[in-house]
């Protein structure tokens, strides 16, 4: 609740300061004007246009980058805001030429002044909100009810460090550090559940040794189901996800495992993007669909489309749709197997479709049906999921988001030919889940388009 309140305060502060910057720049621009010129339709038009557009840029910027900014270092935050404001003023300059090409509506000098004022005001606003936040935490009850489960030494280090930063809001209610006590709570999750309910725990810091990996896995899966924020202390970094982002809490290097991947706003934006983009692609590519359908039908025996059961989540399957690239009954004798680099079952047309990832395009239908997203971990068959869950720790974490047509793993790694390839790609899936943002989705889409155009598919 307090996090939402802080986000709201930051949003309102940024919004007010942004519009204050626009107003001051406008007043500087018209300071030599007569009252008639100040209220002329043209100048009013410029002011209204600038205000509306810059506020739209701000809203987009806030929702695209807000989650990211909450976990990165301050210097990177300032750098990102710097680029965001610069991006906005460059666009407004070029758009202004379309309003009245023959006149300089918005000069670079004016935009430079606006950029400087906005950057200074927004930074000052953030500094003020953070200062206010610190003071309020010192005067009110701490809000992050936390327990530490770990070795005595590590637990002591964490407590001492966090106690030096009371404004962070961590209220350490229980420390489970003795070996026997740790085993008792981890082996008896009902007891842990009672403790979490009784003390209204919202965050857990785990600081166990690597040797306890089996217990850590059990504890991790339980806490994720309970939607408890999890922090792993330093040396469990590789154990959990391989490439999760390290965050700093009072200077402590912790791996943050957030059970809530996307906020409601991000879910709405992602779903809107999925529906709009998929609809456009399917409408625009109708001629291509027809042409490919004719090629497949005339060059090999069988259907145009290929449907196969894939896992949407641990308990639900759906039919994925692709252009058929293999001969009919390709797995009738072998059963489920991974495709090979030079697979003899792939048709001549299928090789071209796979090379340019064109065979995946019909999956936009799956997106419209709500079974997939444009970006996300690639779905697997139940047969392989059962194998991978035994081989790869925390594999089920991939199901926290919808499966996708493309993903971070697809643009960063080669096509799956063995379980080793899947193990390597899961690391990238975990990275995507842990660092999700709509901006990362856009980046993956652009990288995918590049790979399609230059035939870098499988």
Q: How confident is the model at residue 238 (pLDDT cuts 50, 70, 90)?
A: very low
Q: Are 325 and 359 in contact (CB under 8 A)?
A: yes
Residue 89, pLDDT above cutoff 50: yes
DSSP annotation of 170 reads E
Q: Are 220 and 394 in contact (CB under 8 A)?
A: yes
Q: What is the pLDDT of residue 297?
A: 93
Mind listing the pLDDT tens digit for each residue in 28-48? 666 655 556 556 676 666 667
Q: What percent of the chain has pLDDT over 70?
A: 64
Long-range contacts of 83-90 (CB under 8 A, 24+ apart): 84/57, 85/115, 85/118, 85/119, 85/122, 86/115, 87/57, 88/53, 88/54, 88/57, 88/58, 88/61, 89/114, 89/115
Mind listing the pLDDT tens digit for each residue in 190-224? 788 888 888 888 889 888 776 566 677 778 888 88
Residues 6+ apart with CB under 8 A from 260: 227
> Parallel, antiparallel, or unpaired for β 144-150 and 170-176?
parallel
Q: What domains can you pick out in the chain, each with its CATH number?
A: 2-139 (no CATH), 144-257 (3.40.50), 264-453 (no CATH)
Mean pLDDT of the region 10-28? 69
In order of 21, 206, 220, 232, the CA distances from 175 in angstroms are: 49, 10, 17, 15
Residue 73, pLDDT above cutoff 60: no
Q: Which residues of 147-185 are buried (b: 16+ CB within 10 A; e: fewer)?
A: bbbbbeebbebbbeebeeeeeebbbbebbbbeeeebeeb
Better pLDDT: 237 or 54: 54
Q: How confident is the model at residue 84 (pLDDT cuts 50, 70, 90)?
A: low
Task: Please state whether the predicted TM-score (pTM) of the whole model is above 0.75.
Answer: no
């Amino acid at each position: 609740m307090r996090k939402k309140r802080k986000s709201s305060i930051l949003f309102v502060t940024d919004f007010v300061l942004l519009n204050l910057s626009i107003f001051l720049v406008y007043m500087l621009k018209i300071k030599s004007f007569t009252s008639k010129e100040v209220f002329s339709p043209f100048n009013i038009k410029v002011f209204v246009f600038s205000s509306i557009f810059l506020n739209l840029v701000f809203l987009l910027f806030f929702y695209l980058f807000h989650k990211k900014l909450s976990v990165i270092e301050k210097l990177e935050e300032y750098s990102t805001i710097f680029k965001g404001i610069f991006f906005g003023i460059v666009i407004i300059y070029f758009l202004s030429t379309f309003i009245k090409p023959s006149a300089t509506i918005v000069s670079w000098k004016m935009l430079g002044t606006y950029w400087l004022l906005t950057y200074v005001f927004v930074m000052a606003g953030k500094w003020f909100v953070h200062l206010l936040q610190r003071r309020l935490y010192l005067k009110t009850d701490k809000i992050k009810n936390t327990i530490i489960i770990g070795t005595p030494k590590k637990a002591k280090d964490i407590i001492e460090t966090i106690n030096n930063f009371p404004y962070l809001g961590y209220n350490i209610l229980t420390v489970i550090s003795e070996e026997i006590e740790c085993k008792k709570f981890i082996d008896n999750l009902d007891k842990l559940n009672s403790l979490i309910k009784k003390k209204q725990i919202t965050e857990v810091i785990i600081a166990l040794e690597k040797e306890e990996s089996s217990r850590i896995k059990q504890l991790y899966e339980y806490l994720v189901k309970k939607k408890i924020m999890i922090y792993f202390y330093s040396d469990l970094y590789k154990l959990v996800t391989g490439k999760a982002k390290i965050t700093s809490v009072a200077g402590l290097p912790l791996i943050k495992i957030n059970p809530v991947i996307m906020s409601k706003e991000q879910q709405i934006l992602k779903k809107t993007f999925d529906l709009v983009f998929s609809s456009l692609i399917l409408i625009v590519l109708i001629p291509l669909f027809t042409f490919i359908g004719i090629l497949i039908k005339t060059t090999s025996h069988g259907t145009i489309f290929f449907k196969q059961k894939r896992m949407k989540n641990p308990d639900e399957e759906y039919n994925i749709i692709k252009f058929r690239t293999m001969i009919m009954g390709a797995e009738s004798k072998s059963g489920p197997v991974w495709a090979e680099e030079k697979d003899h079952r792939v048709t001549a047309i299928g090789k071209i479709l796979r090379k340019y990832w064109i065979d995946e395009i019909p999956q936009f239908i799956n997106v419209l049906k709500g079974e997939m997203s444009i970006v996300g971990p690639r779905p697997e068959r139940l047969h392989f999921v059962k194998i991978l869950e035994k081989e790869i720790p925390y594999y089920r974490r991939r199901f926290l988001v919808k499966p996708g047509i493309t993903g971070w793993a697809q643009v960063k790694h080669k096509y799956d030919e063995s379980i080793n390839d899947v193990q390597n790609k899961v690391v990238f899936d975990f990275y995507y889940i842990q660092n999700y943002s709509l901006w990362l989705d856009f980046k993956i889409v652009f990288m995918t388009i590049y790979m399609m155009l230059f035939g870098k598919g499988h």
